[in-house]
Amino acid sequence: MPHNRCAERTGLSVVVPSASRGPTLHVLLIALLQQVALRKPGSEIIVSHATFDSLNEAPNMSPRVLAACASCDVRRIVHVDSVRINDALGCAHRYVVASKHARNNVLLHLDDDLLPKAALLQALVQSVCAEPGFPEYARTSRPNPFRSAPLRPRFYGTTPRLCSKDGYRFYSRRYTLSQRGKWVLQKPYYVLTNVASMSRALNAEFVAVLNQSYASLMRVTGGEGCDLVFNHFARGAGSTPTALRGHLHTRSVENIRRPKHLQAAAEARALAVNPVDSGIQSKATAATATSKFYGGYEGGKDHYPRRWQICTCLGRGTVGETLVGCATDKAGLKWARGNWSAFAASADLSIVKLTQRNTGGMGRAGYGSRAEPGSRGLHAL
C-alpha cells in the first residue's frame, strides 16, 4: 500500500444498484454510513433504484436508517430512479448512473447485499487515489523519459476470474494459496465488479463507448455479463483489473443477506451499532429475517455456460452487433455448456450449488447483480 495516505482526505461516491431489497437495504446503508470513508466531506451513497419495487421503498429508507442509527447522516444518501435505464442495460446501468450523479473522483460500485469491511474499504479508496496522475491522468501527467506509455487508471476488487477466448474459469478450494497467488501474478485476469473501486475518469471512459460496443449485448442478456464487458473495455484501453492481494480471500466482504434460517443472525451483527435502541433493532431484524430470498444471475439456467460463451466472444475481440451474434449463438451455447461441464467435473465445484443457495444479487426482473462464488468468503478464486 502506498505511504501517501490520500484515502484519509479523499471523498468517496458509493454506487449501490438496488432492485427489490427494501427490507434489508437499510442494513447496508447503516453499516456504510458508519464507515470512516463515508464521513469525509462530500462522500455519498447513490442508491440506484432499478425497479419500481425498489423505487417505492425509497421514502422509507431514511426513517429506517435513523430508527436504528440516530447518528447516521442520511443526507449522504442520494436516491436515483434508474428503472428505464435498467430495462435497457441491466446491471451495466450502474456505470451510467455513476457518470451522471457521482460528485467524487473515487467511485465504489457495490452490490446491495455486500458490505466491505473497514480495512478493505480503506484499501479500495487508497488504491485509486494513490494512482499516478489521479484524478485526471493523461491531462495532468508530466513528460517522463522513463515512461513511454501514458498514465492509465486501474480498477480494484477482491475476486479475480479468468476470462478469455478459452472460456470462463475460477479456481476451486482444492488449489493452495501459493497456487492462487502464482495464478494472480502470472495470468491476465478479470475482476468481478460486485465490489470494485475505480476513478470517475475510468468510469466515464466506459460510458462513452458503452452504447456503441456493449449496450446491444446488455439488452439481449438482461445485463448478464456486465462485469465482463467492463473488464474487456478496461483491458483494451490499457487499464489493468487488479485484485487486491491482501483481500483475495473474500472474508473482507460480508454478505448481509442470507436464506431465512441464517438471515436473522447475520443482520443482527450488521445492525450492532452505537447508539441503538434494542427494541427497534429487534423489530428490524425480525422483519428482515422473514423477507423474501432473491436469487441472482447465478441462479438462472446456463449462467456459467453463458459467461463462458461471452468470454470466448470477447476474447476474439468482438463488440457491437458482432458480439451479440456470437454471444447468443445457440450452437455456441451448446458448446459452452459442454466446456463448462468438463471444467466443473475437473474441479471441486460443489461450491457453485452452495453459492446459488446462499448468495446472490438481484434476478433479471432487477438489474441482476451476481454474487459469484467467493463473495461469501468461500475461497473460490
* Cell output for 274: 452505537
* Cell output for 345: 467435473
First-to-final CA distance of the chain:
22
Question: What single-letter DSSP state applies at residue 80?
Answer: E
Residues 309 and 332 sit within 8 Å (Cβ to Cβ):
yes
Buried b (16+ CB within 10 A) or exposed e, 154-188: bbbbbbbbbbbeebbbbbbeebeeeebeeebeeee
Give pLDDT, residue 362: 35
Give pLDDT, residue 188: 80
Give pLDDT, residue 113: 86
3-state secondary structure of 145: coil
Strand order in the sheet with 160-164: 167-169, 160-164, 190-191
Tell me the pLDDT tens digit for each residue of 280-295.
344 333 333 333 333 3
Tell me the pLDDT tens digit for each residue of 173-207.
444 445 555 555 557 889 999 999 999 999 999 99
Give pLDDT, residue 144: 53
Give pLDDT, residue 268: 56
ω into 275 cis (within 30 of 0): yes
How far apart, in whole angstroms, are the C-alpha atoms of residue 181 and residue 161? 13
Give pLDDT, residue 344: 83
Mean pLDDT by 10 residues, the chain (381 residues): 70 92 82 93 95 91 94 96 95 97 97 90 94 79 53 91 91 51 66 95 97 96 95 95 75 64 52 42 37 48 93 96 96 95 73 39 36 28 27
DSSP string, 342-373: HHHHHTTTHHHHHHHHH-----TTTT-----T
Q: H or E stretch including 290?
A: none
